[in-house]
Amino acid sequence: MPAQEQLDARNRILDRDVERVLIDEASLQARLAELGAAITARYAGKDLLLVAVLKGSVLFLADLMRHLPIPHEIDFMATSSYGTEVASSGVVRILKDLNKPIEGRHVLLVEDIIDSGHTLAYLTGMLAARNPASLEIVTLLDKPDRREVDIAVAWTGFSIPNEFVIGYGLDYDERYRNLPYIGILKPEIYTESDAGNPLE
């Protein structure tokens, strides 16, 4: 089977769980080209380090890099929140830290989605203490209605309504990351699952 047909067949299986497509593949890629141009203009001639927050932002990072025709490095961090009680106090557990110091470097944090803002508030505080030359955020998605702490975001791909989304890196219970678009999950998937309602 040709590669595209294989991909279509695989996605059809996952597609059954999608209520509707919120942002299609072409819109994602078009917006990424715009973000890439803005970021290129900002960092041309500077020592740029892209820091992606695992795992949700890997597809965004991989596609965004292809729109940055300037030298840059990438690095990764991984976090997990302790659950609602500690999440509301903004404490995030670092599962993986950066490989190298960032002092004097221009750091751009690459995020999949900003929801309450607690994850990024914690990360930017931690990274700012390491004295980078600059520290900015690019996020693919933003749910402004859900914000609990103020975050200064330099670039946002799309502002979206308060719905649980999957695809293009974003998961529900570690699945659906490979969908090439951003979709809204059918509510029966999480009411029938042990993993529960992601919006609660």
Rule CB under 6 A: which residues touch ligand IMP? 56, 112-119, 164-165, 170
Q: Using CB atoms within 10 Å of the CB of residue 162, give its burial: 0 to 12 exposed, 13 to 18 middle, 19+ buried.
A: exposed
Is 75 strand, coil or helix?
Answer: strand
Measure Cα distances from 144 to 6, 16, 96, 113 in Å: 37, 28, 27, 10
Comparing CB distances to Mg ion, the nearer of 49 and 141 is 141
Active site residue 115: yes
CB of 127 to Mg ion, least distance (A): 16
Structure tokens belonging to residue 121: 């508030």
Choose the catalytic residue: 8, 15, 47, 115.
Answer: 115
C-alpha 151/C-alpha 138 separation (Å) is 11
Binding-site string for Mg ion from residue 1 to residue 40, where x marks contact by CB under 5 A and - marks none = ----------------------------------------
CB of 104 to ligand IMP, least distance (A): 27
What is the DSSP-derived secondary structure letter of residue 90? T
CB of 56 to Mg ion, least distance (A): 4
Comparing CB distances to ligand IMP, the nearer of 36 and 117 is 117
**Chain-centre distance of CA 200, in angstroms?**
20
Comparing CB distances to Mg ion, the nearer of 30 and 94 is 94
Rg (CA), the chain: 17
Are 196 and 190 a contacting pair, CB within 8 Å?
yes
Structure tokens belonging to residue 160: 């979206």
116 binds, among Mg ion, ligand IMP, none (CB under 5 to 8 A by kind): ligand IMP
Binding to Mg ion in span 42-71, by CB under 5 A: 56
170 binds, among ligand IMP, Mg ion, none (CB under 5 to 8 A by kind): ligand IMP
CB of 100 to ligand IMP, least distance (A): 23
Q: Which residues contact 188 (CB under 8 A, 6 or more apart)?
A: none
Which residues carry out catalysis? 115
Residues at the contact surface with Mg ion, assessed by CB under 5 A: 56
